[in-house]
Amino acid sequence: MKQVILTGDRPTGRLHVGHYVGSLKERVRLQNSGDFDEIYIMIADAQALTDNAEHPEKVRSNIMQVALDYLACGLDPEKSTIFIQSMVPELTELSFYYMNLVTVSRVQRNPTVKAEIKMRNFEASIPVGFFCYPISQAADITAFRATVVPAGEDQMPMVEQCKEIVHKFNSVYGETLTDPKIVLPDNSACLRLPGIDGKAKMSKSLGNCIYLSEEPEEIRKKVMSMYTDPNHIRVEDPGQIEGNTVFTYLDAFCKPEYFEEFLPDYSSLEELKEHYSRGGLGDVKVKKFLNNVMQAELAPIRERRQMWEKRLPDVYDILKEGSKKAEAVAAQTLADVRHAMRIDYFVDDNLLK
């Protein structure tokens, strides 16, 4: 069986460091591993419209922003097919067929859907398109016969729902769809990076993000304003590591070589944590170290992005060609699905048979 990756993001704004450590970094690693036959990276504009239907310009204007972030992080159009979801209409038709295999109560139980509905205050009036996006996501994954979905921890319920749809379809219509698996980041700190305010979810709408394209001074301001241990008032006070956003970010981004470069008083992150825990280490010193780490990590991404910003027609061509290639692959899967369901009426006069 071919090894295929499908993953993507909603174009509702520039991508942030939570996206990077949660999935983007892993996508680049997998892309360059040589272990995969095909890699599809989707800009999920149709899915973004499910809660932005009255503001399509917001989605439209961010498609190029997301594409720039992808290329800046190291996704290579020679190795990965980057495409726009709505330019592959077969995905909509697959979603329609899959809707008949899922109950309303099952979608209501999906933890990701429940959390997103609450966050957007949709409890009283949920758009049907938004409610059904786990089914749409299953169409996206199965259309490309993805075997692997690199994603953050919050997407686990979505992939589980996709697997259920695959099993149901195959049991009813015969073996047709490919069963995917999710690949999570190895580093537990990257599973769900908190916002700079310490809230569990980093979100554009909450304004608690550090964007991949952020300027150095803005990164510094955000790092220096980060939530730490509220009881660590004086330098000599023992500090709490658990739930301390600064240390969570260091867990996610710090490399051993950064100590020699930026904080030679310490040889490792464990040593730094131990000193903070017993007292005698101030928040400002730790934040300054984190700022240096973040600047070192994000500078190459920002520089590549600036290079691609000067080549927007090339980015446009990458998206256009990628969408064309993606549609051809999805069309073949849709043909197989229609054949399995015996609704390919006009292929080989099947309606007469």
- Predicted local distance difference test score (pLDDT) of residue 192: 78
Instruction: Pull the structure tokens for residue 315.
Output: 């980015």
* Tens of pLDDT, residues 314-326: 999 999 999 999 9
Instruction: Label residue 112 by pLDDT band (50, 70, 90).
Output: confident
Kindly tell me if the per-residue pLDDT of 204 is higher than 80.
no
Instruction: Report the range of poorest mean pLDDT among 22-31, 48-57, 108-117, 315-324.
Output: 108-117
* Rounded percentage of the chain residues whose pLDDT exceeds 90: 81
- Predicted local distance difference test score (pLDDT) of residue 352: 95
Residue 38 β-bridge partners: 4
Tell me the HSE value of 216 on the side-chain side, using a 13 A CA sphere.
9
Angle between helices 56-73 and 283-309 (to 10 degrees): 100
- Predicted local distance difference test score (pLDDT) of residue 119: 77
Kindly tell me if the per-residue pLDDT of 186 is higher than 80.
no
* Tens of pLDDT, residues 141-176: 999 999 999 887 788 899 999 999 999 999 999 999
Specify the pTM.
Answer: 0.92
Instruction: Pull the structure tokens for residue 257.
Output: 């070589």
